[in-house]
Amino acid sequence: MSGLLNHCILQIVLDTPLHAVFDYRWPCAAAERPQVGQLALVPFGRREVAGLIVGVADSSDVPEDKLKDALAVRSQLSPLSPQWLALAGFAADYYQRPLGEVALPGLPKNTRLPTTVALDRALKKLAKLDTAHDGTPLNVPALNPAQQQAADAIGGAQGYLPTLLHGVTGSGKTEVYLQACAQVLAREPDGQILILVPEINLTPQLEGNIRARFPGVMLATLHSSLSEGERMLHWLAAHQGRARIVLGTRLAILASLPALKLIVIDEEHDPSYKQQEGLRYSARDLAVWRARQLDIPIVLGSATPSLESWQHAQSGRYRLLTLRERAVQNAVLPRISLLDMERDKPQDGLTSALVAALRLRMERGEQSLLFLNRRGYAPVICCEACGWISNCHRCTAYMVLHRPEHRLRCHHCSLEMRIPRHCPDCGNVDLQPLGRGTQRVEEGLQQLFPDARILRIDADSTRRKGSAQAAFDSVHRGEVDILIGTQMVAKGHDFKNLTLVGILNPDTALFSQDYRASERLFAQLMQVAGRAGRAGQSAGGSVSEVLIQTRYPQHPLYGSVVRHDYDNFATALLEERQQAALPPFLYQALLRAEAPELATAVEFLTQARDLLAHPDVTLHDPIPMSMTRVHNVDRAQLLLEAASRPLLQAFLKEWLHLLRTVKTRVKWSLEVDPVDI
């Protein structure tokens, strides 16, 4: 009973699946109590782990002899703000996860190690960093009237105001963001801006633009390819308020930004804003929540807005700003045409019309881009004698032929093997590739155009760190005549000398079961088409063009693409969704279950479905996922739907409470607002 030493109780959340706050004792004088938002090192089981202090109390309900002492408080790191804690709290609540599982992985690993060596080193390094210099931004283009109006409307906005910036590809949305940012930075001497982009590959281009435009401003970047040391440093720069612009991918939405004044979300429709494992959050939705919480403006930009955002703009919840024309003098939108593959039968995947168009670009010294969203050489190989095909024996999927690497690869599990010399079933030595991936198109092109400089960009060709950037740089430097690539090349890039885009095989998405497939296909086609003709009239004087090879030239989706008609396409699609009662007119959650046997997963989901009922929540029958088996695990899903978001949220809370008490060996997870169902 020592009266000299005071204790307090630290209430701490940890990165565990348990929905719990843990109490720890911490010896301290009343005046020196740790603060909420600080990190502490605590014993947990047999480990020492870092946790986040969410409360400081005088006493605990835990019996004295069970109470453990915290080991250290990370006082060198200033506390996370109440606003940040509220953001993590909202995300945890909305996506039905424990707070600790949201908050802690949101922090750099180096803040959470048992020792603080890396943290201390980063703090020292940051203290020495000096960004003060008087560079003058060069080449600030004069905005056109529509851009100027948008930049002023965004840069001058006060308070919570979400803006949808709908601008055709090449309309100069980036320039609008930059000049709006300049206004905010000038008005708010300590203010911070968060800019989100969908892909790591797009950060270097924008990073360069930002650095050139704001020479004296510290910029931090946050994305998954930073080293832990870099991530720590950049995160700290944001957390201390020193980085005034933070540029990142979806994970940056959880950055600590104590003086945040503006959020920019570029290509807001992009599926990459949805995290597809662990905490399956939508960075776009969290960004809008964050803007409202902080009462600051947010701008969502796209040439093909998501139907959710378009619907908000139509209903007046978001302000709509439109850029109808391309920004560069003489740069008009490309002419888009459909090539009927029934009439003009493709050879090596290319119709004669597309080959002629490629040849014309070669002669004029202009660049072409061929888009095929399928990597590898061929999606499958088969034996024509007995019908054997290269299935993955661990997944409901084919083994894809990668000919340059002499391998078959499953793109869903890590399985890899040498290409069999003969059919494993009948011994036939004549195994044939079926279908076409980027490698095969590349091979065909090399034969057709032996003098062309051909570059393939896909996940296989860019495995090494930095190789994607090097590849894009060489396109920008004009060292490439024909670029062939997957969706990696479709987004955002400002290729100046590209005047032809060929789209090889988009038809499969027309008949997908996924109700979002047509929205995605439209966006993807407009994005990739938007890479053409960005720099104005080419030297050769040709109008830039986009050629889409299809077997269904009459399909209305292609009609909208050809007319560059997002508005009517989106309006029609929204009507369809309303009639069919689909999002955004309906709210969904998806319970997934994984087990070695499908029956076990379905059985668990059936049990889950019967736990709780509500007249306004529909629980559908459990079904196998469309790709049922991955890496020897079978997967099934149960869809929940309701017309009201709060009602669905309330139901999920109660339901999950019951579900967590179910003893099962099935691995399950819940996704709120699922996109792939």
As annotated, the binding site for Zn(2+) includes 383, 386, 392, 395, 410, 413, 423, 426
Site for ligand ADP in 305-364 (CB under 6 A): 327-328
Residue 386: name its binding partner from Zn ion, ligand ADP, none (Cβ under 5 to 8 Å by kind): Zn ion
Q: Report the alpha-carbon distance of residue 58 to residue 36 in Å, rounded.
A: 14
CB of 493 to ligand ADP, least distance (A): 9
Are residues 99 and 13 in contact, defined by beta-carbon separation less than 8 angstroms?
A: yes
Residue 410: name its binding partner from Zn ion, ligand ADP, none (Cβ under 5 to 8 Å by kind): Zn ion
Which residue reads 């689909």 in tokens? Answer: 582
Q: Which residue from 169, 192, 390, 486 is in contact with ligand ADP, where contact means CB under 6 A?
A: 169
Which residue reads 């080991």 in tokens? Answer: 71
Q: Report the alpha-carbon distance of residue 468 to residue 464 in Å, rounded.
A: 8
CB of 232 to ligand ADP, least distance (A): 31
Are residues 284 and 310 in contact, defined by beta-carbon separation less than 8 angstroms?
A: no
Q: Which stretch binds ligand ADP (CB under 6 A): 166-174, 285-293, 403-411, 458-466?
A: 166-174
- How far from each other are the two terminal CA atoms of the chain, in whole angstroms? 60
Complex with ligand ADP: residue 494 or 603, whichever CB lies closer = 494
Residue 602: name its binding partner from Zn ion, ligand ADP, none (Cβ under 5 to 8 Å by kind): none
Q: Which stretch binds ligand ADP (CB under 6 A): 23-31, 75-83, 143-151, 309-317?
A: 143-151
Site for ligand ADP in 180-219 (CB under 6 A): none
Q: Report the alpha-carbon distance of residue 649 to residue 672 in Å, rounded.
A: 9
CB of 492 to Zn ion, least distance (A): 31
DSSP string, 120-144: HHHHHHHHH------------PPPP
Kindly report the backbone phi and psi dihedral angles of residue 392, in degrees, each rounded to the nearest multiple of 5, phi listed first.
-80, 130
Instruction: At 409, list the tokens.
Output: 């690869």
Complex with Zn ion: residue 303 or 601, whichever CB lies closer = 601
Q: Which residue from 60, 116, 147, 203 is in contact with ligand ADP, where contact means CB under 6 A?
A: 147
Complex with Zn ion: residue 412 or 620, whichever CB lies closer = 412
Instruction: At 550, list the tokens.
Output: 């299809």
Q: Report the alpha-carbon distance of residue 369 to residue 155 in Å, rounded.
A: 35
CB of 181 to ligand ADP, least distance (A): 13
Closest CA to 54 of 20, 11, 102: 11
Residue 425: name its binding partner from ligand ADP, Zn ion, none (Cβ under 5 to 8 Å by kind): Zn ion
Complex with ligand ADP: residue 322 or 618, whichever CB lies closer = 322
Q: Which residue from 60, 110, 116, 144 is in contact with ligand ADP, where contact means CB under 6 A?
A: 144
Q: Which stretch binds ligand ADP (CB under 6 A): 51-59, 169-177, 307-315, 621-629?
A: 169-177
CB of 383 to Zn ion, least distance (A): 3
The verdict on 384 binding Zn ion (CB under 5 A) reads: no
Which residue reads 């720590």 in tokens? Answer: 232
Residue 584 preceded by cis peptide, ω within 30: yes
Complex with Zn ion: residue 296 or 399, whichever CB lies closer = 399
The verdict on 534 binding ligand ADP (CB under 6 A) reads: yes
Residue 143: name its binding partner from ligand ADP, Zn ion, none (Cβ under 5 to 8 Å by kind): ligand ADP
Orientation of helix 228-239 relative to helix 117-128, angle to 10°: 60
The verdict on 565 binding ligand ADP (CB under 6 A) reads: no
Are residues 566 and 166 in contact, defined by beta-carbon separation less than 8 angstroms?
A: yes
Residue 388: name its binding partner from ligand ADP, Zn ion, none (Cβ under 5 to 8 Å by kind): Zn ion
How is the beta sheet containing 47-57 ordered, strand by strand?
Answer: 68-69, 22-27, 7-13, 47-57, 39-44, 72-73
One-letter amino acid for residue 151 of the chain? A
The verdict on 167 binding ligand ADP (CB under 6 A) reads: yes
Complex with Zn ion: residue 376 or 444, whichever CB lies closer = 376
Kindly report the backbone phi and psi dihedral angles of residue 397, in degrees, each rounded to the nearest multiple of 5, phi listed first.
-160, 160
Q: Which stretch binds ligand ADP (CB under 6 A): 94-102, 135-143, 405-413, 521-529?
A: 135-143
Closest CA to 548 of 539, 538, 533, 559: 559
The conformation of residue 265, written as its DSSP 8-state character, comes to E
Q: Report the alpha-carbon distance of residue 213 to residue 359 in Å, rounded.
A: 39
Q: Which stretch binds Zn ion (CB under 5 A): 39-47, 302-310, 390-398, 435-443?
A: 390-398
Site of interaction with ligand ADP (CB under 6 A): 141-144, 147, 167, 169-175, 327-328, 494, 534
